[in-house]
Amino acid sequence: MTKNTTQERRNELSAIWQFIKLARRLCPGHIPLATVSAIIDAIAPFPGIVIPGYILNELAGPGRTERLLAYIGMLLAGNVAVGFTGSIVRKKLKTSEEKLADRFELHVGRHIMHMDFEKLEDAGILDMKEKALFNLRLHNVLTEGPATIAGIFRLLITAAGVTGLIAMLNPVLIVALFFLTGVNAWLYRRVQATKQRFYQDIAVYNRQFMYFRNLTQDFTNAKDVRIYRMSSYILERISRYYSAADRIFHKMFLTQRRHDGLGAVIIQMQTVLACAFAVWGVFRGKLMIGDFTIYISAAIRFSASATELMTKLVDLQMLGRVLQDYLAFERLPERNLSGKRSADDIVCVRIEFRNVWFRYPNTESYALKDVSLIINSGERLSIAGKNGAGKSTFIKLLCRLYRPEKGCILLNGVDINDFEEAQYSRLLSVLFQDYKIFSFSIRENLAFDRPYEQDRGRNSLKKAGILEKVQSLPLGADTPLYKNFDKDGAELSGGEMQKIAIARILYKDAPLLVLDEPAANLDPYSEYDLYSRFNAMTEGKTTIYISHRLSSCRFCDAIAVFEDGRIVEYGSHEELVCKGGLYARMWQAQAQYYQ
Amino acid sequence: MKREEGLLQNHFYVWQCVWRYNRVIVPLILANTLVTAAAPFTGILLPRQILDELLTARRPGRLVLLLISFFLLSALFSYLTQELKGIFMAQPVRVTAPCMNSMYRKCMEISFQCTEDPDFLNHVQTAQKGGGRDNFGGISGILHKWFEAPGAVIALCGYLALIANLNRAVLIILMCSMGISYALSLAQKRYEHNKREELAGWERRSDYLYGIMYDFSYGKEIRLCGLTDWLGGQFMLYRDKIRGTKKSIKNFELFRVWVELLLSLIREGIVYGYLVFMVAKKDMTIADFTMYAAVIAGFKGAFERTAGHLADLYGLSMQISDYRTFMSRPDEMTQEREPQPIPPAPYEFEFRNVSWRYPGSDRYVFKDLNLTIPGGERLALTGRNGAGKSTFIKLLLRLYDVTEGEILCNGINIKKFDRRAYYDLFSAVFQEVIPLGFSVADNVGVCDEGRIDRERVDLCIRRAGLADKVRALRYGADTCVLKNMDDEGVEFSGGEKQKLMIARALYKNGAVMITDEPTAALDPLAEQEIYEHFDRLTQGKTAVYVSHRLASTRFCDAIAVFEDGRIVEYGSHEELMGRAGKYARMFQVQAKYYGQEEGGR
């Protein structure tokens, strides 16, 4: 058991060490600043402990006025100097702590954004992220963590100073004080062990509580909440949390207050003990009266520092534990950016899937089975199939979000993994089925951070059939989308948002165009517009079009029909309809209503 | 906007809540006040006695007695302090929990149009701090302060009394310096409070960006569009603004700290000088000197604590304002005081000269709209994107209120009904599909508020075409629909989620069925299945169906074609086809690619 706990301690310490190293990298000025601040705070109490004793000795003894004035001057000057520098350093430190926390969040955000994509769709990884971040937030690690570490440093200095002070006067006393502190530490550890258990009990509820609480304020589901009277259900769940938490905390505080009370008594015992020692010393004439006060102040400071140190050490342990979860998450590999090949000169794109097999991580069955397919430069391929047949998986592989398990994907004869990351994504314009529109201006939704070219923007919006609408908005392309941050934001309909998404990929103007259900929310005219502009839009580009609306298959050069991870049919619309297979059946299901 | 309420009323309000929800707090505060007021003085008075004894009579028995009583008293007080604190810690949440719950309820039941108003959203952010979401803020924080403040005030008075005993002039000097630094702390709290709305806006912004960076579902877009740097930069931009504002608060604080340092320098200089002078003149014993030195040192701490508590009581009370104004925030949608009872089915709806625009906007989405949906009829809405179909649904559901005109349900203005009772009429499937982190059964039967009929759940799952999927789950209908709530939860695909939403609508069995593009994510065969069952699903109900798939409009009794916020055509599929107008053109446009072709069938 002890072996395990030593190992645990070691892991915790190593996690904290890594955290410190990370902090140094993210915010290099922070650690020196924290050190200076800790030292100032650590020495701050000493003038108040020592100088009054000297004053008293002087008063009881020779009583020289100039000495007395000098002592008082020192005491006041010391307080002011420490207070003044301390306040400046503390302010800087606080800002620096905030900056560190912000940069840390950015650091984690960037890690997530750089992580291997296949990890993102792994439910286990999602869970790991949630747990790691939840604990970071619950324990305020980002703001409290560095402060805890600095606090321990500060307390160690103070405690050492005070110990030295007392030891100069009486070493026996210091042994007694240490002993009592040990007793207190033991008590404290016991409370913490119980508390740990309580926190574990509450963790499950906490997660659910946070979810339900967010539900009350996440107004994306506001309509459903109202129409389906969900408020009672959600509030009932929240109340369930409250009563569970109440029960658990009640028990926890009960244990805690007994122990804390006992601990407080021990601290008083330390003070009185010091007092008794001092009385004894003065009584025997071994101690001056001024030393008496130094003794007592030092002893009080000792027990206060020792107690605080204990709490901080337990916090540190908690920090270590929480950080381990986080560090495990951080260790997840980032995307493999090994490819070096440039794609600068590529204008035409020919794609080949060569015997591609693929299954999602942690699954048994293959999502793609032996898929071989060639899409020639400038060709338009349509992909059809039932829900879950592997169409979107096909796209994800092409986008290099996943790697094939067997087989390879070639672009102009080169394995796509050989290209440099940014270069490769430059080649693709992809409209995903679950495209995202951001609460930013239309302009930013098209060009993001790159400079917005007016003409190109207007052209793309026009091709997507949304230019008129955009021009009718008061701020044109500068209008923010959604109203959640701006009263003047535009609340566009689902179809209009989809057109913005189409405009975005046209704006990118890459040689390979992938459209996954681009017309799902479009009205018949807009759908027709899209179809009729399709030729112009895809001019000279290799295009892949996925749709459940099979009408779109008619103007593509070829159709690949997926079923259960395989390409079961391939050919032109006419060929496939004649063949009377799956495609013909699906076509018939839809076309019958229009005849 | 003016959101302040009287600060005293805020405290009064908190105490009302205490009285209503958890009265134990009152005796606890009284007891703690007594203990914490008395505790510091054992550490001041007893050492003085000891010192006095030591310097004068030096009776050993007396010294031992003093030491023992010193120990007993201080041990008693500190034990009681911890005990009371332990009992108290669990109490505030019993007051804040019901307060937060009513706030959550308000968030979920306030009219829908409020939830699209940035001002309301910012108010939610500040109000929940006021309500005591965090243990040491808002109502909860104020109770913690009330627990500690009175004892600290009394202790401070004790110090003052001791000092008054020493010299009146010193007392006056101390009082003045106290007044100045307290005024400064209040000013600081006010300054902080005035910055909170600015901060709330930026916090929501940076939270939004944080959400995008951390949300896995944005992963594809971020990777393919190379958004990492941009998003990170935007995130830091707002965080920098927040830090900048906080820095200005800190500068104010620094100024306050310096003034206080100066004050304490003057204060202590005078007092120490005076004490030394007294002792030198032999007007004061050394024991008294140490006691007064301890009093001065203790006074500083006690004063800082008290000023801190009082300033916090003031600052937190301003937070309570945010909560109270939120709770009394008028709903933009008026609620009839004596609502009409809901008439019996079937339901006929009439839009009479309805006009609507977003609050604050001067552009009308609808102008003078007239339409009747006869009871038991199935109406299809179609038309161009942005023509107002979804808005029409929101008006019909009374998620928005009309700007002009009226909507009648069986001849009664829908504003006359109780809003919740009116919502009960509808089963709706919206375009955005958002399943909740509940079990399948709870997702389907959520409207029954906990009395879910499992047989009916199974039936609806079957009718929505989801039975096979649910049967294959390890825990059947008890499986959680989101992975992050339950380790054994299962993520549904887009089509499955849509079917789940249909099952939920079926379970509710509202007298009116509303569906907004329910088949957008379904493959042709699944779509056909829904169409064929649609008849059965809507049996005898008034139904409104929004779709761009004109194939589906055929099943409806009437079709309304929207254009620019007006209804340009109305009639059955055959009539409209015969009229060869917009609908017919639209149908042809869509049918064009489905038309007969040389090789086909």
User: What one-character-per-residue DSSP string does B498-522 give?
Assistant: HHHHHHHHHHHT-SEEEEESTTTTS
Instruction: Kindly give, in sequence order, each residue whose CB lies less than 8 Å from that of residue B120, ignoring residues fewer than 6 positions away.
Output: B110, B114, B329
At residue A549, does pLDDT exceed 60?
yes
Question: Six-digit token pair at A487?
Answer: 């009263």
Q: Describe the strand order of the beta sheet including A566-571 as a list of residue ranges.
A: A428-431, A512-516, A542-546, A380-385, A558-563, A566-571
State chain A's mean pLDDT as an integer. 87
End-to-end CA separation in angstroms for chain A = 78
Does the distance separating the beta carbons of B293 and A117 come in below 8 Å? Answer: no
Could you give all domains of chain A from N- to C-terminal order, each with its CATH number? Answer: 10-330 (1.20.1560.10), 351-594 (3.40.50.300)
Give the integer Cα–Cα distance in Å for A71 and B43: 24
The ipTM assigned to this model is 0.86
Q: Which among A575, A557, A159, A546 has a CA at the least distance from the CA of A385?
A: A546
CA atoms within 13 Å, Cβ hemisphere of A484: 18
A143 touches chain B (CB under 8 A): no
At residue B599, does pLDDT exceed 50?
no
* DSSP H or E stretch at residue B189: helix B168-194
Chain B residues within 8 A of A253 when measuring between CB atoms? 86-87, 89-90
Contact call for residues A380 and A557 (beta carbons, < 8 A): yes
Give the integer Cα–Cα distance in Å for A158 and A304: 10
- Architecture, CATH, for domain B334-425+512-594: 3-Layer(aba) Sandwich (3.40)
Q: What is the pLDDT of residues A399-414, one digit of tens each?
A: 988 889 999 999 999 9
* DSSP H or E stretch at residue B387: none
Work out the average pLDDT over A100-111. 92
Question: Six-digit token pair at B492?
Answer: 């549904």
B527 touches chain A (CB under 8 A): yes
How high is the pLDDT of residue A410? 94
Q: How far is A513 from chain B (nearest CA, A)?
A: 12
Contact call for residues B347 and B425 (beta carbons, < 8 A): yes
Of A112, A435, A594, the CB nearest to B214: A112
How high is the pLDDT of residue B281? 84
How high is the pLDDT of residue B484? 63
Q: Which among A440, A400, A435, A394 has a CA at the least distance from the CA of A417?
A: A400
Chain B residues within 8 A of A552 when measuring between CB atoms? 593
Give the integer Cα–Cα distance in Å for B51 and A278: 10
Residue B372, beta-bridge partner list: B350
* DSSP H or E stretch at residue B103: helix B92-109
End-to-end CA separation in angstroms for chain B = 68
How high is the pLDDT of residue A90? 92
Q: What is the pLDDT of residues B99-122, one digit of tens each?
A: 999 999 999 988 888 888 888 888
3-state secondary structure of B340: strand
Give the integer Cα–Cα distance in Å for B497 and B491: 9
Give the integer Cα–Cα distance in Å for A365 and A356: 14
The structure tokens 């769709």 sit at A121
Q: Which among B488, B504, B390, B495 has a CA at the least distance from the CA of B436?
A: B504
A124 touches chain B (CB under 8 A): no
Instruction: Kindly give, in sequence order, each residue whose CB lies less than 8 Å from that of residue B473, ignoring residues fewer than 6 positions away.
Output: B440, B479, B490
Work out the average pLDDT over B371-377. 90
Give the integer Cα–Cα distance in Å for B325 and A81: 45
Locate all alpha helices (DSSP H) within A115-220, ordered by sequence. Answer: 117-120, 123-138, 141-169, 171-217
Question: Six-digit token pair at B406?
Answer: 């009226």
Confidence tier at A434 by pLDDT (50, 70, 90): confident
Interface of B with A in 359-398 (CB under 8 A): 360, 382-387, 389-390, 394, 397
Work out the average pLDDT over A346-364. 88
Chain B residues within 8 A of A127 when measuring between CB atoms? 483-484, 487
Among A128-137, A163-172, A292-301, A363-372, the minimum mean pLDDT is found in A128-137
At residue A581, does pLDDT exceed 70?
yes
How high is the pLDDT of residue B323? 92
**Residue-wise burial string across A288-302, b where 16 or more C-beta atoms lie within 10 A, e elsewhere:** bbbbbbbbbbbbbbb
Question: Six-digit token pair at B578?
Answer: 């015969």
Contact call for residues A511 and A468 (beta carbons, < 8 A): no
Question: Six-digit token pair at A42?
Answer: 């650590």
Residues in chain B: 601
Does the distance separating the beta carbons of B60 and A283 come in below 8 Å? Answer: yes
How high is the pLDDT of residue A492? 86
Other Cβ atoms less than 10 A from the Cβ of B216: the count is: 17
Q: Which among A307, A240, A49, A74 has a CA at the least distance from the CA of A162?
A: A49
Cis ω for the linkage preceding B346 (within 30 of 0)? yes
Locate all alpha helices (DSSP H) within A284-405, ordered by sequence. Answer: 289-330, 391-398
Give the integer Cα–Cα distance in Å for A417 and A423: 11
Give the integer Cα–Cα distance in Å for A142 and A109: 14
For B208, phi then psi, to 5°, come to: -60, -45
Residue B480 is given by DSSP the state B
CATH code for residues B7-327: 1.20.1560.10
* DSSP H or E stretch at residue B215: none
Q: What is the pLDDT of residues A49-78, one digit of tens each?
A: 888 888 888 888 887 888 888 998 998 899
B283 touches chain A (CB under 8 A): no
**Residue type present at position A530:** L
Confidence tier at B79 by pLDDT (50, 70, 90): very high
A215 touches chain B (CB under 8 A): yes
How high is the pLDDT of residue B598? 36
* Chain-centre distance for alpha carbon A127: 13
Chain A residues within 8 A of B528 when measuring between CB atoms? 589-590
Does the distance separating the beta carbons of B601 and A577 come in below 8 Å? Answer: yes
Contact call for residues B512 and B426 (beta carbons, < 8 A): yes
How high is the pLDDT of residue B600? 35
How high is the pLDDT of residue B102? 92
User: Searching chain B, which residue's CA lies closest to the CA of residue A255?
Assistant: B86
Q: Which among B203, B191, B202, B200 has a CA at the least distance from the CA of B249?
A: B191
Q: Describe the strand order of the beta sheet including A406-411 as a list of residue ranges.
A: A368-375, A351-358, A406-411, A414-415
Q: What is the pLDDT of residues B27-54, one digit of tens each?
A: 999 999 999 998 888 888 888 888 888 8
Give the integer Cα–Cα distance in Å for B454 and B344: 27
Chain B residues within 8 A of A494 when measuring between CB atoms? 385, 390, 431, 517
State chain B's mean pLDDT as an integer. 86
Give the integer Cα–Cα distance in Å for B431 and B446: 19
Contact call for residues B389 and B559 (beta carbons, < 8 A): no
Question: Six-digit token pair at B497?
Answer: 């989620």
Work out the average pLDDT over A358-380. 88
B265 touches chain A (CB under 8 A): yes
Chain A residues within 8 A of B224 when measuring between CB atoms? 399, 425, 428, 430
Chain A residues within 8 A of B200 when measuring between CB atoms? none
Work out the average pLDDT over A124-132. 78
How high is the pLDDT of residue A336? 67
Instruction: Kindly give, in sequence order, each residue whose CB lies less than 8 Å from that of residue A390, ignoring residues fewer than 6 positions away.
Output: A367, A368, A371, A562, A564, A565, A566
Give the integer Cα–Cα distance in Å for B140 and B134: 8
Work out the average pLDDT over A365-386. 91
A342 touches chain B (CB under 8 A): no
* Chain-centre distance for alpha carbon B87: 28
Give the integer Cα–Cα distance in Å for A415 and A339: 10
Work out the average pLDDT over B551-572. 86
Q: Which among B381, B408, B436, B292 has a CA at the least distance from the CA of B560?
A: B381
Of A226, A448, A522, the CB nearest to B230: A448
| Domain B334-425+512-594 matches domain B434-509 at the CATH topology level | yes
Chain A residues within 8 A of B521 when measuring between CB atoms? 387, 433, 517, 520, 548
Instruction: Kindly give, in sequence order, each residue whose CB lies less than 8 Å from that of residue A316, ignoring residues fewer than 6 positions away.
Output: A12, A16, A148, A149, A152
How high is the pLDDT of residue B597? 47
How high is the pLDDT of residue A337? 63
Instruction: Kindly give, in sequence order, each residue whose CB lies less than 8 Å from that of residue A559, ignoring residues fewer than 6 positions away.
Output: A381, A382, A383, A384, A553, A569, A570, A571, A572, A573, A576, A583
At residue B2, does pLDDT exceed 60?
no
How high is the pLDDT of residue A155? 94
Highest mean pLDDT among A547-561, B235-249, B527-541: B235-249
Of B208, B243, B437, the CB nearest to A98: B243
Domain ranges within chain B, ordered by starting residue: 7-327, 334-425+512-594, 434-509
Work out the average pLDDT over A295-316. 85
**Residue-wise burial string across A140-174, b where 16 or more C-beta atoms lie within 10 A, e elsewhere:** ebbebbbbbbbbbbbbebbbebbbebbeebbeebb
Under CATH, to which class is B434-509 assigned? alpha beta
CA atoms within 13 Å, Cβ hemisphere of B324: 22
